[in-house]
Structure 1
Amino acid sequence: MKAPFFCLVAWAFASLPAHAFCMSPIVPFNFGPPDPPGSFSRPNVPYCLSSYSYSASHTCEEWELDRYFSDIDAYVASLQRYLNEFNDFTREVASLSEDAERYANCEAKEATTQHE
C-alpha cells in the first residue's frame, strides 16, 4: 500500500516546475571585527631602564624587571589573541561573501528562468 502512494507523491513532485529556493545570507547580530588592544595597554618602560639605551646599564631591581617582562609577555599575548580573532573574522567575511555570491547567482538564475 505504501509503495503506490510513494510513487504517486514522487510523480506529483516530479511534474511540478523546478524552482530553486534562494536563501539570502544571514549576518550575525554581533558581526564585526574584534577590538584591538589599545596602545594605552602597552606596558611603559620603567624609569630605572630610561638610560639603558645609551649606557647599557640600568638601576632596576630584579622584581621591577620581572614585572616589566611579565607585562610585556601579557601584552604580546593579547596582540596574538587579537590576531587570531581577526583571522577568524576574515574567514567569516570570506564565507559570508561566498554565500552572498551563491545567493545572487541563484536569484539571477531564478529571475531568468521564472517564465520558462
Structure 2
Amino acid sequence: MIPFIRSLAVSALLALPVVASAQDAPVLAVISHPVEDYAAWRQIYDDFSDEQQAGGVVMEQVYQDPADPNNVTVLHGFESLEAAEGFLNSDELKSAMEGAGVAAPPTVTVVTRAD
C-alpha cells in the first residue's frame, strides 16, 4: 500500500495550486512511514518547523493513508540536492523522528525536477 500512497501523494502535490516557495523547489523528498499515534507525531512534526526551515525545507505537505491514518507521507521541497541530503541525514531529524513515534524505518525517495 505504501508505493500507492507515495504515488498518490506526488500526484496530489502536482494538482495543488503552485505556491511561490514550492515553485522554486527543484528537489522533492517523499518520505513515507508508519507512526504509533498520528496526533502525537503531528504535534512533534509541527514543533520541528524551525529546524525544517533551518535545514533548507522550502515547502512541506503531510498526507495520510485513508485506510490507516497512522501511515503518513511527507513531501519536503528543497532548493538543492545538497540541502535535501543534509537535512534528511541530520541527527536532529533522526532524533525528532524517534521521539515522534515513527514505528518503522522510513522509505525516502528524493527526486529532482526534470528539465
Shorter-normalised TM-score: what interval? Answer: under 0.3
* Structure with more strand by fraction: 2
With the length of structure 1 as denominator, give the TM-score of the two structures.
Answer: 0.20
Task: State the TM-score, normalizing by the size of structure 2.
Answer: 0.20
